[in-house]
Structure 1
Amino acid sequence: MPVSQTQMIRSYNQEDIQQILQIAIARQADDTEFTREQLLEIAAELEISPECLQVAEQQWLQKQGEIQKRQDFNIYRHGRLQKHAGNFAIVNSFFMGLNLVNGGELTWSLYILLFWGLGLGLNAWNTYQSEGEDYEKAFQRWYRQNQIKQSINTIWNNLFKTWGT
């Protein structure tokens, strides 16, 4: 009787175990949410110390916060692109209409349309690039600006509270 390949492999490395357990939990749980107590029980069964679990949970929370910040940044960039595209459509429609009314044909307005369209295309290209050094620099700049705005708002609100009392 031939021995199947799954019966021959009796040891797994840590990454394999993580992937197998991740798939098994996903298949079993589907839309089920686990409580923190259940998380602690699972960790205890896997002989993971509460301290190690707490550190892992903190790292996961930090990672989720980073993911949320990047999603907010991408939403901001898409909104900015939509505004730019709207301005492009309105202004170029006006110039093309003005060109048609004055000259009866499209001449000079096409140059504006083409050059601005080139800029819009490059802007769209950069907006949908979510990796690389340029993206990271833009994200860091946006994040610093938001931190400064939040600090100023906090100071401003504190000043109003002290003046109001």
Structure 2
Amino acid sequence: MTAFEPNSIRSYSQEDVQQILQFAIARQADDKDTEFSYQQLLEIAAELEISPESLNLAERDWQAQHSQMQSRKAFDAHRLRKFKKRLSNYAIVNGFLMLVDLVGGGGVSWSLYILLFCGLPAGLDFWNTFQTKGEEYEMAFQKWNRNHQIKQTISTVLNRWFKALQT
């Protein structure tokens, strides 16, 4: 489509309409803190001839996707914390060994072999931590998510139990 076509000839795919409306809404809101009320969302949907049922289903889908993204962010932060801890342990142990080698032998010799030998798992750990796509990542995320949900459930049950005991 060119910019010179009359309005009556223009037509857009559903994906194009979604993208155009996203750009328009983004430009409409002058600052990022602008929020829309649920009533405004209903009015926008009504103007676009979207039924309230479809809007509710879309909102549920969005909430599920938003929750999934929050879980993935928490998982990635968890993996990063674990990696930083392992990396600092690696640096402390190898720094100590290099210091012992330097003081004991007047130079650094045998500690370099340990540094290189231990560097391989650290490199693989780096790769696994920052690799956020693929089957291994999905399996690790699913396992973490299951464990996280179990911990939350147990915590909720224990909190209710303790509250019941206190009253």
TM-score norm. by structure 1 comes to 0.90
Match of 2:157 in 1: 155
Which runs of no fewer than 5 residues in structure 2 stay unpaired?
A: none
CA 1:28–1:134: 2 relative to 1, 3 Å: same
Give the CA deviation at 1:109. 1.3
Match of 1:81 in 2: 83
Identity within the alignment, %: 56
Aligned residue pairs: how many? 163
Match of 1:17 in 2: 17
Match of 2:67 in 1: 65
Match of 2:26 in 1: 26
Match of 1:6 in 2: 5
CA 1:117–1:43: 2 relative to 1, 3 Å: same
Give the CA deviation at 1:153. 2.0
Q: Which of the numbers 86, 91, 94 marks the counterpart of 1:92? A: 94
Q: Distance in 2 between matches of 1:64 and 1:116?
A: 39
Match of 1:124 in 2: 126
Cα root mean square deviation, aligned: 1.8
Match of 1:137 in 2: 139
Which runs of no fewer than 5 residues in structure 1 stay unpaired?
A: none
Q: Distance in 1 between matches of 2:120 and 2:14?
A: 50
Q: Distance in 2 between matches of 1:14 and 1:93?
A: 59
- SS of 1:112's equivalent? helix
Name the stretch that deviates more: 51-60 or 101-110: 101-110
TM-score norm. by structure 2 comes to 0.89
CA 1:6–1:20: 2 relative to 1, 3 Å: farther
Give the CA deviation at 1:4. 5.5
Give the CA deviation at 1:104. 1.7
